[in-house]
Structure 1
Amino acid sequence: MIQQLIEQKLHQAFHPLYLDVRNESYMHNVPPGSESHFKVVVVSELFEGERLISRHRKVNGVLADELSNSIHALAIHTYTPEEWSKENEFAPASPKCAGGGN
């Protein structure tokens, strides 16, 4: 499954203190059981001193093969442990799909 592969790769790359990978395909106009739209929340000390764009590039780099072949959309939320604490351990909800679905 793609979701498990994403989790495995992000764990290996970032040694996160918190990781949440959600398959949000059901929110889009795709066949039931699809694994094409994901949201990831990664909290890692490795993001200390990194700008947001750099963090996202690193996540995209780790998942480059999946983004080229399987994933249609990827929402990325990256935090340092301190930032995560300031956010009350909460990442924003994904917006409703403008292209249909639920």
Structure 2
Amino acid sequence: MTDTFDFMSAGAQEKIAHLEARLSAALDPQAVHIEDDSAAHAGHAGAASGSHYTVTIVSERFAGKARVARHRLVYDALADEMRRGVHALAIRAFTPQEFAEQFE
């Protein structure tokens, strides 16, 4: 899925909203939360503003899938963004049941 969104020129909140929209379209999550961790990586290669993120996502699509397969689904949903400015993702992918058991 390619779009005309200019990721590199967008503001921090626009980038997060864009990433959330891409994940929502691809994985139909019950919840998705993205934090911009770029400031914590200042001086690190690829540490431009809006390049390092932590993604917490809750989706039924993760049911029966190993951690690596879940991460692959997230990376696939954000493939264009990974080529256009996202340098690193920390991914926390849960099924709704797993999320409820761990956090509620």
TM-score higher than 0.5 here? Answer: yes
2:25 aligned with 1:12: yes
> Which letter does structure 1 place at the counterpart of 2:82?
L
TM-score normalized with structure 1 length: 0.78
1:6-45 aligned at under 5 Å gives the runs: 6-29=19-42, 34-45=49-60
Partner residue of 1:88?
Answer: 103
Q: CA deviation at 1:2?
A: 2.0
Distance 1:44 1:72 in 2: 24
1:57 aligns with 2:72: yes
**Farther-moved stretch of structure 1 (80-89 vs 49-58):** 80-89
- TM-score normalised per structure 2: 0.77
Give ranges in structure 2 of 5+ residues lacking alignment.
Answer: 1-13
Rounded to whole Å, the distance in 1 between the matches of 2:67 and 2:88 is 18
Paired residue total: 87
Structure 1 unmatched ranges of 5 or more: 90-102
1:96 matched to which residue of 2?
Answer: none
In the alignment, the residues of structure 2 paired with residue 70 and residue 3 of structure 1 have an alpha-carbon distance, to the nearest angstrom, of 12
CA distance in 2, matches of 1:19, 1:61: 16
Identity of aligned residues (%): 37
CA RMSD of aligned residues (A): 1.5
